[in-house]
Structure 1
């Protein structure tokens, strides 16, 4: 197996074989390999193989069981991905378009009122600016929270949502800002 062509995996098998020939126990060599890869799947496979060998099972049977186990895990991941696609789409659409659009319209209303009134209305600007700031924060926070929820929904781990959270927050702020700026101009055109 250490002479077969499997790319980087062949190098690792050659290294494991060399370590065993130098006297390192099989268990230590396989665990070291698993640690070097930093792959949860490889670590799981090595643990299963070692458990099977320690239990006295034939290595071929152990490898068959490990193979079946990994296939089942991949199938579950595919099923989970397809089952959560609708929820992910909803979260993305709501937090990237619908929410920022509605909040942008609301945030642009003071400018519309000022334009329609010709600047003659006595609007309490400090209070309105506070509301607009709160809307801006809400749009960003809602998109970030949706990104975190996507991590939980897709991977079962909210930490994996960080890769979605900040880009989603920035995109939602951009949509909000564009709608907030354009909406008063659109209304005053009519």
Structure 2
């Protein structure tokens, strides 16, 4: 027994069962117990190192840095598995109409249902072809065709595939015309995919607006705000130093200068935190608008973060370098 399998013993049975099912839904061909133990061990080792580095630069205490790093790395692994599950389901849904059309043609050619199903297992069908071959093996060894078809729902997490398998099973049990059902189902799935593409195209303007607001407008506005605060602090310090102390203390000065309580460093930290939070929620909204699923937008998160933070620092540099020299203020 290796160390990864040994670590899996400390997980509750429910977590291991759910994780095994999640791996079965995905395209990952690794033993679930070993993968779960590896994720735990790697997360702890990475978090120990990250917590030490974070505490070394006095960003966070070691415990908080360890907890934050562990949460981030575990969430990253979980998202990686979810993306694998979704990519497998989307691929199957894309080629499902072609597979159903091929099965229908085989049935109309006079083949039995199980043989028509086996001959539809084309290599280009990928995971669906593997499931069709599994169904063929189970039926050839004396298993029930309907039960083998329903087991597909436990291996591919797709609502369209699940409904299609239920229709095929009900048609087989009731003795209906399976070829006509497969043709109609394939046609309905193609129409549904066309409608989804049209919807995605119609909401593209909303996605562009969200991207511009978060990736372009927000960082530039934060850069201008940061520059304005620095200018006000510099001007107040300069004007306050030119007023004689006896006039300022006597209250006879024409203007009254008070200390600005906002530090430029605080405003910069606030801007970075706001841009990070806005990028996270913006990517979720983009995924929800485009695909109807928030986690589909996670893939846009790195681009939003890089663009927004990059423009913020670039805007700060341009403001401080060029405009600061133009108005004669060194910041």
Query: Do these two structures clear the TM 0.5 threshold for a shared fold by scoring above it?
Result: yes
What is the TM-score with the length of structure 1 in the denominator? 0.82
Q: Is contact 2:230-2:264 (8 Å) kept?
A: no
Deviation of the 1:125 alpha carbon: 6.2
Q: Which residue of 2 aligns with 1:14?
A: 133
Distance 2:162 2:301 in 1: 29
1:140 touches 1:169 (CA, 8 Å); kept in 2?
yes
Query: What is the CA–CA distance in structure 1 between the aligned matches of 2:199 and 2:191, rounded to whole Å?
Result: 12
Q: Structure 1 residues 75, 50: CA separation in 2 closer, same or farther (over 3 Å shift)?
A: same
Matched, 1:59 2:175: no
Aligned to 1:187: 323
- 2-structure distance, mates of 1:181, 1:78: 42
Corresponding residue to 1:177 among 286, 305, 313 = 313
Normalised by the length of structure 2, the TM-score is 0.50
Of 129-138 and 55-64, more deviation after overlay is shown by 129-138
1:36 equivalenced with 2:155 (yes/no) = yes
CA contact (8 A) 2:121 2:133 kept: no
Q: 1:157 to 1:13 in 2, by over 3 A?
A: closer
C-alpha displacement of 1:136: 2.5
**Residue aligned with 1:57, SS:** coil
Residues 143-184 of structure 1: per-residue CA shift (max 9 Å, x gap): 222111111111222233333335423431221122122211
Offset of residue 70 of structure 1: 0.7
In structure 2, do the counterparts of structure 1 residues 5 and 159 end up closer, same or farther at CA, with 3 Å as the change threshold?
closer
Match of residue 120 from structure 1: 238
For the residue of structure 1 that corresponds to 2:203, the secondary structure is helix
Displacement after TM superposition at 1:84 (Å): 0.9
C-alpha distance in structure 1 between counterparts of 2:260 and 2:233, whole Å: 11
Higher gyration radius (CA): 2
Deviation at 1:95, TM superposition (A): 0.7
Moved more, 71-80 or 105-114: 105-114
Partner Cα distance (2:185, 2:310) in 1: 48
1:62 deviates by 1.4
The 3-state SS of whatever aligns with 1:148 is helix
More displaced stretch, 70-79 vs 125-134: 125-134
Residue 52 of structure 1, CA deviation: 3.1
Instruction: Give how far 1:87 is off.
Output: 0.6
User: 1:100-119, aligned counterparts within 5 Å?
Assistant: 100-113=219-232, 117=235
Size of the alignment, in residue pairs? 189
Distance across 1 between alignment mates of 2:157 and 2:167:
16
Cα distance change on mapping 1:45 and 1:29 into 2, 3 Å: same
RMSD after superposition: 2.7
1:46 to 165, 168, 176: 165
Instruction: State the 1:105 CA deviation.
Output: 1.4
SS at match of 1:23: coil
Change (3 A) 1:141 1:15: closer
